[in-house]
């Protein structure tokens, strides 16, 4: 009888570990905070005047600050959009207080500012807070235009 609780615990532990292994293989669709170094690796080397966007799908970069109320209001909208466009769009965040050189390079003077990077072509800058419907319109217009 003493083996039964041990086997039950062993079974539960094995099931939990198996579930964790399977969940780690599932791609998560969330807004990711990046540094200047990661920006150069994932998006583009902004020091190169001939640089082009490196991503396989379009992306949005949200330049924000923790103290900025409109930035905090925008973040949940970006998380919703990331889930809605899962696999078709990446959304990154750059804290302008931590990455001043990157913010300066892109002329970020108003927060929040979004840079929309299409697969080809120049990024589009959107300044200030925008609601979800407006952002979806910009995403469709600039990142997924119909021909």
Check if 59 is active-site: no
Catalytic annotation, pick one of 60, 61, 71, 116: 71
Check if 71 is active-site: yes
Catalytic annotation, pick one of 42, 68, 77, 124: 68
Task: Quickly count: other Cβ atoms within 10 Å of residue 49's Cβ.
Answer: 6
Burial track 66-100 (b if 16+ CB lie within 10 A, e otherwise): eebeebeebbebbeebbeebeeebbbbbbbbeebe
End-to-end CA distance of the chain: 71
Strands 90-95, 124-127: pairing is unpaired
| Active-site amino acid positions | 68, 71
């Amino acid at each position: 009888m003493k083996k039964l609780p041990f086997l039950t615990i062993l079974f539960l532990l094995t099931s939990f570990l198996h579930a964790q292994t399977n969940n780690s293989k599932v791609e998560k669709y969330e807004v990711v905070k990046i540094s200047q170094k990661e920006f150069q690796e994932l998006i583009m080397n902004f020091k190169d005047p001939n640089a082009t966007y490196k991503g396989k799908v379009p992306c949005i970069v949200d330049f924000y600050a923790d103290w900025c109320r409109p930035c905090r209001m925008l973040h949940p909208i970006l998380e919703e959009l990331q889930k809605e466009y899962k696999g078709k769009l990446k959304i990154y965040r750059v804290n302008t207080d931590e990455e001043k050189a990157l913010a300066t390079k892109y002329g970020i003077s108003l927060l929040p500012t979004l840079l929309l990077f299409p697969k080809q072509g120049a990024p589009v800058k959107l300044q200030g807070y925008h609601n979800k419907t407006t952002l979806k319109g910009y995403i469709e217009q600039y990142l997924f235009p119909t021909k």
